[in-house]
Amino acid sequence: MAECIFCQIVAGAIPSKKIYEDEHVIAFDDINPQASVHMLVIPKRHVVSLDDTQDSDTELLGQLMVVCAKMARERGLNTGGYRVVTNTGREAGQTVFHLHLHVLGGRSFAWPPG
């Protein structure tokens, strides 16, 4: 998807602060952090959102979650706790329509979210 900003990050056409990469997944720091640690974990393949997934994506979704946990441990978030969020659709606040998991930590979070 040539016009997708995250596909361009995957391709290296747009710079990012990449913190993890494997065959199917990359992670990088969010450009506009909402906590002292704010990372994004995304599939390399263009998937619009969680709503664009099906049974055949089970393994990929598991891999994304495991990378979230790894990155959180690497940044020391696991002791205090952290939040993993995927905004799905406009009403939920999704602005980039390439599936991504936000990993946020380093401060307290309210519940329910706004």
Compose the 36-55 pattern: x for residues touching Zn ion by CB under 5 A, - for all others. ----------x---------
Q: Which CB, 28 or 82, lies closer to ligand AMP?
A: 28
Decide if residue 49 touches ligand AMP (CB under 6 A): no
**Member of 32, 54, 56, 108 binding ligand AMP (CB under 6 A):** 32
- In our burial notation (b when 16+ CB lie closer than 10 A, e otherwise), range 71-83 reads bbeebebeeeebb
* Catalytic residue IDs: 100
Give dist(CA 24, CA 45) in Å, integer.
7
Cβ at position 92, least distance to ligand AMP in Å: 8
CB of 29 within 8 A of CB of 39?
Answer: yes
Which residue in the block uniquely carries the two structure tokens 């990469």? Answer: 21
By beta-carbon proximity to ligand AMP, the closer residue of 19 and 96 is: 96
User: Which residue stretches of 18-96 are H helix?
Assistant: 58-74
Q: Which residues bind ligand AMP (CB under 6 A)?
A: 5, 14, 16, 28, 30-32, 40, 87, 93-96
